[in-house]
Amino acid sequence: MTYKIGLLRGDGIGPEIVDSAVRVLEAIAKKYGHKFEFTPYLIGGAALDACGVPLPEETVQGCLASDSVLLGAVGGPKWDTLPGNMRPEKALLGIRAAMELFTNLRPAKLYPALKGDCPLREDIVANGFDIMIVRELTGGIYFGERGMREGKYGEEAYDTECYSRMEIERIAKVAFETARKRNKKLTSIDKANVLDTSRLWRKIVHEMAEGYPDVECFDMLVDNAAMQLVRNPAQFDVIVTSNMFGDILSDEASQITGSIGMLPSASLGNTTRGLYEPIHGSAPDIAGKNLANPIATILSAAMMLLYSFNLTKESDAIINAVDRVLNAGYRTADIAHGGEALGTVEMTDKIIAML
Ligand code: NAD
């Protein structure tokens, strides 16, 4: 089969890490008899420099015509003084909206080989953890009515949270299906003791749970969830939550893995076409030096194989190769703690060799 993949290399380390992932995908194609067709499009600072806007129309159309899209990262000091709507980061919101991506999947996994990077106490993470956060991405308070007004005490600002049944049902469906493919445990996180949106959220999740008798479903209040993530992260398998709670909890979860260069993400909509990207930024401090850890982007490509193309075996092959490389003791500088470190290209070579 031929799969058309749009490449958004972006800025800083973006081109280096996307090229690493492309090399891994090419090795997978060769091994399993697939064909990946890669088409690069400009985004972020690179697009600003070439055509004066962070998200050219050609990029949007190219992504919409692709079977899936792999993104590096955007931004850097060169464009930091531009006004908000011309900032490279604006392109990220633009492309997610254009592709109608309402789900963000963020795994937070502590690799046994990297336990020492975890900031939590050793006994808490003795058995590691492997969490998948399913965050609603296009609704809730970030997209609700907002404004400034004169109130009882003078100037005031307000933001509103609104969730429709349709929005909750479609994200809950992704979460239940994801849990079904993993350890069949779903924790739905809300603030149902205070918020009406959370009460509707909880009611709908309970209704839907009846259709997934094989998935154990629990509710948890967001304040407790923030605490449980650092107290006992291994209790979680799949978490589903709203846009703002997911924003905060997924950053907390990524921090307790201790290694930002290792974490991939996927943004999905109603079609199989997704946007896959590492959770880290463009790391301008190490750009162009062959120092970046390519693993987050390589694992993003593995997520693409699974979620967009349903190539389970091929996706697992990448994940296992990364595990083996780490278990064999190979590290990039960010996870080497002063020990011997491989460059971006050499780490990619090792992963390809382990496939
Ligand atoms: P960052 O994630 O780029 O870097 C934070 C630190 O982590 C840096 O020390 C960096 O060297 C290190 N780091 C990040 N990824 C790494 C990797 N793969 N390998 C090794 N080390 C890595 O965050 P920042 O410094 O706050 O932001 C830099 C730029 O990236 C800014 O312009 C910011 O707006 C942008 N940004 C973009 C995205 C995105 O494209 N999705 C996300 C966050 C930040």
Q: Is the pLDDT of residue 145 over 90?
A: yes
**168 and 294 share a domain?**
no
The predicted pLDDT at position 333 comes to 95
- Closest atom, ligand 1, to C-alpha of 297: 18
The predicted pLDDT at position 221 comes to 98
Backbone angles phi, psi at 14, to 5 degrees: -45, -55
Q: For the segment 215-266, what is each residue's pLDDT rounded down to a tens digit?
A: 999 999 999 999 999 999 999 999 999 999 999 999 899 899 988 899 999 9
Q: How many residues are recorded in the chain?
A: 355
> Would you say residue 168 lies in a domain?
yes
> Would you say residue 297 lies in a domain?
yes
**164 and 66 share a domain?**
no
> Would you say residue 263 lies in a domain?
no
Coil, helix or strand at residue 151: strand
Q: Is the pLDDT of residue 120 over 90?
A: yes
Helices 90-98 & 57-64, crossing angle to 10 degrees? 40
Backbone angles phi, psi at 340, to 5 degrees: -65, 135
**125 and 229 share a domain?**
yes
Domain that holds residue 4: 1-100+271-355
Of all protein residues, whose CA lies closest to atom 22 belonging to ligand 1?
261
pLDDT band at 117 (very low <50, low <70, confident <90, very high): confident
Backbone angles phi, psi at 276, to 5 degrees: -115, 130
Q: How far is the CA of 177 from the centre of ligand 1 (A)?
A: 31
**291 and 241 share a domain?**
no
**126 and 202 share a domain?**
yes
> Would you say residue 113 lies in a domain?
no
Tell me which of 204, 229, 256 is where a domain ends: 256
Percent of the chain with pLDDT over 70: 100
Q: For the segment 164-183, what is each residue's pLDDT rounded down to a tens digit?
A: 999 999 999 999 999 998 99
Q: For the segment 261-286, what is each residue's pLDDT rounded down to a tens digit?
A: 999 999 999 999 999 999 999 999 99
Ligand 1 pocket, CB under 6 A? 13, 73-76, 89, 92, 260-261, 277, 280-286, 292-293, 296, 334
**11 and 83 share a domain?**
yes
Distance from C-alpha of 43 to C-alpha of 55, rounded to nearest angstrom: 5
Q: For the segment 312-339, what is each residue's pLDDT rounded down to a tens digit?
A: 999 999 999 999 999 999 999 999 988 9
Q: How far is the CA of 260 from the centre of ligand 1 (A)?
A: 9
The predicted pLDDT at position 40 comes to 98
- Closest atom, ligand 1, to C-alpha of 17: 18
> Would you say residue 108 lies in a domain?
no
Tell me which of 203, 229, 256 is where a domain ends: 256
**279 and 250 share a domain?**
no
- What are the start-end ranges of the E strands in the chain? 2-10, 35-41, 68-73, 103-110, 129-136, 146-151, 154-159, 185-190, 216-221, 238-241, 264-268, 274-278
For the segment 295-303, the average pLDDT, to the nearest whole number, is 98
Q: What's the domain count of the chain?
A: 2
Q: How far is the CA of 280 from the centre of ligand 1 (A)?
A: 5
Distance from C-alpha of 208 to C-alpha of 338, rounded to nearest angstrom: 49
Q: How far is the CA of 281 from the centre of ligand 1 (A)?
A: 3
> Would you say residue 261 lies in a domain?
no
The predicted pLDDT at position 240 comes to 98
Is residue 94 within 8 A of residue 59, CB to CB? The reply is no
- Indicate the helix (H) or strand (E) that contains 29: helix 14-32
**175 and 302 share a domain?**
no
For the segment 184-202, the average pLDDT, to the nearest whole number, is 98
pLDDT band at 81 (very low <50, low <70, confident <90, very high): very high
For the segment 120-138, the average pLDDT, to the nearest whole number, is 94
How many Cβ atoms from other residues are within 10 Å of residue 4's Cβ? 16
Percent of the chain with pLDDT over 90: 92
Of all protein residues, whose CA lies closest to atom 13 belonging to ligand 1?
283
Q: Which of 79, 106, 282 to mutate to test the pocket of ligand 1 (most atoms within 8 A of CB)?
A: 282
Q: How far is the CA of 97 from the centre of ligand 1 (A)?
A: 22
Q: Which residues are catalytic?
A: 142, 191, 223, 247, 251
**141 and 222 share a domain?**
yes
Q: How far is the CA of 278 from the centre of ligand 1 (A)?
A: 10
Joined tokens for residue 30 = 């060769």
The predicted pLDDT at position 84 comes to 81
> Would you say residue 342 lies in a domain?
yes
- Of 11 and 260, the one with more pLDDT: 11
> Would you say residue 212 lies in a domain?
yes
**228 and 252 share a domain?**
yes
Q: Please name the residues in contact with 353: beta carbons below 8 A apart, sequence gap of 6 or more.
A: none
Alpha carbon 183 to chain centroid distance?
20
Helices 165-181 & 196-209, crossing angle to 10 degrees? 50
DSSP 255-313: HHH--GGG-EEEEE-SSS-EEEEESS---GGGTTTT-S--HHHHHHHHHHHHHTT--HH
Q: Which of 11, 90, 280 to mutate to test the pocket of ligand 1 (most atoms within 8 A of CB)?
A: 280
Distance from C-alpha of 108 to C-alpha of 60, rounded to nearest angstrom: 29
Tell me which of 207, 229, 256 is where a domain ends: 256
Q: Is 83 exposed, middle or buried (0-12, 13-18, 19+ CB in 10 A)?
A: exposed
**148 and 92 share a domain?**
no
The predicted pLDDT at position 186 comes to 98
- Closest atom, ligand 1, to C-alpha of 10: 40
- Closest atom, ligand 1, to C-alpha of 285: 11
- Closest atom, ligand 1, to C-alpha of 14: 40
**309 and 250 share a domain?**
no
The predicted pLDDT at position 115 comes to 87
Q: What CATH number has the domain bearing residue 40?
A: 3.40.718.10
Q: Give the mean pLDDT of the chain.
A: 96
